[in-house]
Chain A
């Protein structure tokens, strides 16, 4: 029965297993860190509540997808054990998921894929909803109030998740259906590949949003809110939109984590892991640009894996349990980075929007067509500027 849970989740062994694991967590943390970079590095919103957004992704999988699977499986005729009240929800969960649902899902590739896509879509939607909810009290206030509120909300979401059993199995946690049951090999490999792929897609999404007039608007809100408000932009609703958008993308990280473990418990989504470490990655690499975020994530993930792999060496050197060493290192690194490299390792640069020449804009009426402008991959801004000045067209 055990092999039905994971689809041979330990088929990959040895060094390859370590690499798959690192790749998976790297992918997840890079999604979260890029979303935080989008909010803080570009729009100036210090989002200390990413743990809430990630946990919503996990809860979507455990609460909604699981129930949907049970319904679909029951429609197909498989007898499920009862799961109406809290006790049965947790105690019958393992048999329901591992034996019955996964046994059915094994033969139904289309159902599996559609469940996966539905989960991701639902996560983005619910992530946006939670972004709207956490924006209600805090979006009008100064940054420090925002941080205070968001940190407390992260704690609140953990408490609620721990106590409302129907969401994610309370303190014990619950299994979720394995959406790759049809895959004959190790599902962790395909999950890691999927996570990295989604990381790549989200990188492109964030990059496109940044190098567009909307990105310029975000940067201007960060620099001077009052000016932006005085020219007629609704600053509060723009900030709320940014928060909702990033929440949606962050929630997919929680969803992917849930499918990776095939298990959801609220203790997997702790505040320190999903808020403070991504912030450290962001600050270390440099807020405001994606390359910095990526570099920071790489460094921090490498650091943590080194600590884990060389655990016994450290244990002999330190006089306290090694578990707290990581936390100590987190605090110290954050302080060191902020004192010695406040702009991160890769500092921020000016925003390049293709086709915008600010001087021409100020001096005269210039139609700006970013679509015909040379992209960053071509020679640069030389061509359009010449054309605008009426010189040789080229």
Chain B
């Protein structure tokens, strides 16, 4: 089995997962923050 290629693609996968996670979390947080601020304003 060509372990090198396997791990190479594992590395690429992690390298892609990291920014995806980061961007996803940031967007969710900003959305939640905006909603919390809106409900605070209207309350």
Contacts and interface: CB of A to CB of B under 8 A. Distances in A.
Interface of A: 11-12, 16, 19-20, 23, 26, 30, 183-186, 189-190, 192-193, 196-197, 199-200, 203, 207, 211, 289-291, 294, 298, 349-350, 352, 354, 357-359, 374, 376-382, 385, 389
A191 B39 CA distance: 47
Given A380-B31, A382-B35, 5 more contacts: A289-B26, A352-B33, A359-B40, A380-B34, A382-B36
Contacts of B35: 379-382
Given A12-B8, A349-B33, A376 B18 contact: no
Given A20-B8, A183-B3, A382-B35, A294 B22 contact: yes
A289 B26 CA distance: 9
28 contacts: A12-B8, A19-B8, A23-B15, A184-B3, A185-B4, A189-B4, A190-B7, A192-B11, A193-B11, A196-B15, A197-B14, A200-B14, A290-B25, A291-B23, A294-B19, A349-B29, A349-B30, A357-B36, A357-B40, A359-B40, A376-B25, A376-B31, A380-B32, A380-B35, A381-B39, A382-B39, A385-B39, A385-B43
A165 B17 CA distance: 41
A185 B7 CA distance: 10
Interface residues of B, number: 30
Contacts of A380: 31-36
Contacts of B25: 207, 290, 376
Nearest to A298: B19
* 7 residue pairs, one from A and one from B, having the closest CB atoms: A381-B36, A380-B35, A185-B4, A193-B11, A380-B32, A196-B14, A185-B3
Given A183-B3, A184-B3, A359-B43, A376 B15 contact: no
A199 B19 CA distance: 11
Contact of A290 (B22, B30, B33, B40): B22
Contacts of A11: 4
Contacts of A189: 4, 7-8, 11
A211 B25 CA distance: 11
Contacts of A377: 28
Contacts of A352: 29, 32-33, 36
A15 B2 CA distance: 18
Contacts of A207: 25
A199 B39 contact: no
Contact of A196 (B11, B26, B34, B43): B11
Contacts of A382: 35-36, 39
Contacts of B36: 352, 357, 380-382, 385
Contact of A291 (B4, B15, B26, B31): B26
A194 B19 CA distance: 16
A6 to B, nearest CB: 13
Contact of B32 (A192, A359, A376): A376
Nearest to A293: B22
B43 A389 contact: yes
A205 B36 CA distance: 25
A57 to B, nearest CB: 21
Nearest to B23: A291
B2 A185 contact: yes
Nearest to A380: B35
Contacts of B8: 12, 16, 19-20, 189
B4 A193 contact: no
Contact of B22 (A23, A193, A203, A357): A203
A12 B4 contact: yes
Nearest to B16: A196
B18 A294 contact: yes
